[in-house]
Amino acid sequence: MPAKRRVPPPAARSSRVPPPTAPAPTAPSSSPVFADPVPSRDPAHYAQPHASDSEAYAEMDALISSHQMLPLPFPVVADTKEPVLRLQDALGANGKAAVAAIQAGGEIVFQAAGDTGATRGPATENLVMHKLLADFHGERPAAVPQFFYHLGDIVYSFGEHKYYYDQFYEAFRDYPRPIFAIPGNHDGLALPPPHGPTAPSLDAFLANFCAPGVVHATDAMGISRTTMTQPGVYFTLDAPCVSVIGLYSNVLEHPGVISSQDGHFALPDDQLAFLRSELTRLKDEREALERAIVLAVHHPPVSFDDTHGSSPTMANEIDAACNDAGVWPDIVLSGHAHLYQRFSRSVAGKSVPYVVAGSGGHLQHGARSDLPAVGSLIGNYAMAVEPIFELGYLTIVVDLSSTSKPTIAGSFHSLAEQPTADSFVVDLKKGTVT
């Protein structure tokens, strides 16, 4: 990756309370809008206060702590809609030409992070956004990110429409590329009685990320970004060189739940069938080294933070789907734990990085007091680096331009002055990680 040019943050913008009036709904369009046409100053305050959340969230915490909180039913991908979204379709009118240029170069770059939503104001989101935007000012055009992949918890504390303006649209107002997302547990949380009733779980996420067409989002108010048209809360993003399979791991703080596991019979097992089907579909291209496979799920299969922890049952279900399909992802990305962690796992004759990047703007977690040394095994996972307790994000570079050494390079960029806090390279041919 080229050296980055430091982009100074603009002067603080005065608070906008209430936020700008939402424009009249627009007709569906084939031309999405991403960044606002003119960069603007950072907000100093949120327009939507969160004080009303405190009592309701305390009650939700009590339910979670007593294990009375159950996963919530979620909308499944309709049989009539393929659970795959092509990057060129998300880019609109210029998508075909843009994708052709990426394919010709044999390399694609994207950014990823989870847990960008924050309840105490926009300051931390502003800092991460300035760092993200610096990637667009490098010296090499091929290294410019093509999209941001959100690893969940877009808004806090509950996934309601009223939080999307502050925590998503205004925070990402200058981001010039598509933003794809899987929901996190907070995105699916609904207010408990007597504070409800509210909209059904994931109602706001569906409206903003799974809209039937490209329209100006009502929740965006005066921000220009239009809705995304993802086919569901779990889906595959097909881009040149890479496919990202995204899963939804439901509303519990821990563990992640992707099926009817452990007696959650209100949930379908559609995600497991989807995962097996998508891995099978992508297997031939992966074996021919024409495409890398990334798996994204909000709850980490493995984590050593002091708050959430691992999701072993979910991890076993993912393993079973991979075994059935005969192909494994080249990297697994998660959020949820508000820190950066990287583990390595030897499976099916190759090493797979499991990366937790929940450092996108929410408060930071610490590590457990019994944190093992780097290189130590936690079950089948080896701790590859010491956890990093700073805000930041991942840059992922999938490079298939060399038939002798196709790679995925990952780098974690923290808010500290050093440009890279952690980096690794996956050799897709040899199945090694360095």
User: Is 305 among the domain residues?
Assistant: yes
Residue from 310, 303, 345, 314 nearest 328 by CA: 345
pLDDT tens-digit map of 206-233:
999 999 999 999 999 999 999 999 999 9
* Selected residue with higher pLDDT from 59 and 67: 59
Q: What is the DSSP letter of 78?
A: P
Give the percent of the chain with pLDDT over 90. Answer: 68
pLDDT tens-digit map of 322-345:
999 999 999 999 999 999 999 999
Range of the domain at 392: 13-433
Q: Name the pLDDT band for 80 (thresholds 50, 70, 90).
A: low
* Selected residue with higher pLDDT from 398 and 373: 398
Mean pLDDT of 105-134: 94
Q: Determine contact, residues 336/358, Cβ cutoff 8 Å.
A: yes
User: Is 6 among the domain residues?
Assistant: no
User: Is 84 among the domain residues?
Assistant: yes
User: Is 332 among the domain residues?
Assistant: yes
User: Is 8 among the domain residues?
Assistant: no
- State residue 147's pLDDT score: 98
Tell me the CATH number at 171.
3.60.21.10
Listed ranges 77-86, 139-148, 162-171, 303-312; the one with the highest mean pLDDT = 162-171
Q: Determine contact, residues 125/90, Cβ cutoff 8 Å.
A: no
Q: What is the secondary structure of 285-347 as a DSSP string?
A: HHHTTS-EEEEEESS-SS--BSSS---HHHHHHHHHHHHHHT---SEEEE-SSSSEEEEEEEE
Q: Name the pLDDT band for 417 (thresholds 50, 70, 90).
A: low
Q: What is the DSSP letter of 106?
A: T
Helix (H), strand (E) at residue 245:
strand 242-247
Owner of token pair 């239009």: 226
Q: pTM to 2 decimals? A: 0.92
On the question of pLDDT at 176 being above 80, the answer is yes
Mean pLDDT of 372-398: 92
Q: Which residues contact 280 (CB under 8 A, 6 or more apart)?
A: 325, 326, 327
Token digits for 66?
A: 């007593």
User: Is 2 among the domain residues?
Assistant: no
User: Is 4 among the domain residues?
Assistant: no
Q: Determine contact, residues 336/317, Cβ cutoff 8 Å.
A: no
- State residue 28's pLDDT score: 57
Mean pLDDT of 227-248: 97
Q: Name the pLDDT band for 10 (thresholds 50, 70, 90).
A: very low
Q: Determine contact, residues 336/362, Cβ cutoff 8 Å.
A: no
* CA-atom Rg of the chain in angstroms: 20
- Count of structural domains within the chain: 1
The SS3 assignment for 186 reads: helix
